[in-house]
Amino acid sequence: MCGILAVLGCADASRAKRVRVLELSRRLKHRGPDWSGLHQHGDCYLAHQRLAIVDPASGDQPLFNEDKSVIVTVNGEIYNHEDLRKQLPNHTFRTGSDCDVIAHLYEEYGEDFVDMLDGIFSFVLLDTRDNSYIVARDAIGVTSLYIGWGLDGSVWISSEMKGLNDDCEHFECFPPGHLYSSKNGGFRRWYNPLWYSEAIPSAPYDPIVLRQAFEKAVIKRLMTDVPFGVLLSGGLDSSLVASITSRYLATTKAAEQWGSKLHSFCVGLEGSPDLKAGKEVADYLGTVHHEFTFTVQDGIDAIEDVIYHVETYDVTTIRASTPMFLMSRKIKSLGVKWVISGEGSDEIFGGYLYFHKAPNKEEFHRETCRKIKALYQYDCLRANKSTFAWGLEARVPFLDKEFINVAMNIDPANKMINLDEGRIEKYILRKAFDDEEHPYLPKHILFRQKEQFSDGVGYSWIDGLKAHAAKHVTDKMMRNAANIYPHNTPSTKEGYYYRMIFERFFPQNSARLTVPGGPTVACSTAKAVEWDAAWSKNLDPSGRAALGVHASAYENQNNSVNKSIEFEKIIPLEASSVGVAIQT
């Protein structure tokens, strides 16, 4: 993938404007250090910073159709590009790039081709025959994208906010699953799955169907002409991704080029839960495992860089982005250009610990829908930008369109947590891969309690951030917080500290409006905070804020909570399987 920037319909077509576009495009160079390109057609500019993964020799952008009347700049991976090429027998392709199909699909199908793309993408397509253009973003928003408007009537598109914030009168996040058309003068949603309406599904749970759908999602992402690896924290999601990749790698084209030995990567504070669990899974799977440790001070020193690159002041995103940012730099230094990661599972299956308190299957399902729709503002934003800060791409198979359709069509009663029946969070995903004959993972890993990434790297990470913020933000500053920051007013010193840094980099009102707000507990939406009255007094995005649920919940509040959930007493999942023992 890459970084894109486009200026469409600007009043100035001078040499100075071209120089300015090049200057702004260079702000995205970290996303694509391998090559840069810029194409101007009249009052339109399409710029590109390339991270070469498929066809690195000839896939430079912008891309064109046969007579160069259609121009495309794209940040993405199109996993079904070979099948799409077969559907275009009368077209001649200039490169072997997976994104080369976009211009030709547009020629055949007009604006309605976007749903044919199986992958992740953000692109700008310019049709020079009538000077029209379309812009589109992938279904869930795995790729980052912003849109802005200039005083001269121009439309700006950029992979990151820093590419357009200084030159636009107003800008905002480009909505996932949408298309913007100059012919129609606005947005329309091209992605319309059944779950989007939040209607309650009723399909029965079939573990084999779920397993096969996820294996297919992982395998299709092994499309590469460059070295890659997997992020392995030792939690359920990353471990499943690593296990499937390891199991099927030898049968792929990637193995022919780079061998069948899988490299895995983990980050954490010395002695953290993730480092221990990650190594255990790596040893079980036989991967070439790389551990990276950091100190709390290392993380604190990186906070300003993280906020600049990730472009948010959301507390939980910054907490989790910092270790990922530090790890990505180390991974890139080893010559690896992309990794597979486990984002999205918790949103689809209700894996966050607060889902223990979901009152019924209807509210459980609606919350998963809300979480998936908001991913582009949280985990997708983190996974995309904290890795691309170092020119590293992250692929996320849990957010595969086909897999989401399968998983979100299951009757949510099957996803509900019921400890009396031994059903912990993400139970149906765990059971789908609970294969006695050919085990994917050790039992205790397959049924390990959920740890949010910012917790799993070491609990003292968050505690250290809070202590650091307390040194820089006074009580007096907090008393005046609502006057200084009336929108999304920080409620903690940690939040205030991040906000100060963000506003220094991105002072525009449009910038602060791109960041979500509202109360949250253990990464819940504001609506789910209503599930437990005690949570409104303990608003913190850490999983340890799920009082009475997390085995290491904040100790100073444990005594006041009615511990209706006792992990030490979880009954066996089945007579043939082991129970889950969580250390307290």
Q: Of 77, 181, 193, which Cα lies nearest the Cα of 132? A: 181
d(CA 40, CA 46) in angstroms, rounded, equals 6
Catalytic-residue membership of 369 = no
Coil, helix or strand at residue 306: helix
241 labeled binding residue? no
Fill in the amino acid letter for 152: D
Q: How far is CA 409 from the centre of its chain?
A: 22
Measure CA 249 to chain center. Answer: 23
Bond prior to 176 in cis (omega within 30° of 0): no
- Residue that is written with structure tokens 């609990």 in the block: 459
For residue 2, the one-letter residue type is C
H/E stretch holding 35 reads: strand 35-41
User: Is 341 one of the annotated binding-site residues?
Assistant: yes
State the SS3 of 139-194.
Answer: CCCCCCCEEEECCCCCEEEECCHHHCCCCCCEEEECCCCEEEECCCCEEEECCCCH
400 is in an annotated binding site: no
User: Is 28 one of the annotated binding-site residues?
Assistant: no
Which residue in 2, 99, 168, 523 is the catalytic one? 2
Helix (H/G/I), strand (E/B), else coil: 104: helix
Q: For residue 56, what are the contacts with CB-CB under 8 A and spacing of at least 6? A: 34, 225, 226
3-state helix, strand, coil split of the chain in percent (to 5) is 45, 15, 40
Is 98 annotated in a binding site? The answer is yes
Return the closest-CA partner of residue 525 out of 513, 539, 508: 539
Burial 423-450 (b: 16+ CB within 10 A, else e): bbbbbbbbbbbbeeeeebbebebbbbbb
> Which backbone phi and psi does 184 adopt, to 5 degrees?
-95, -10
- The annotated binding site for L-glutamine is made up of 98
List residues with catalytic annotation.
Answer: 2
Q: Output the known binding site.
A: 98, 231, 267, 341-342
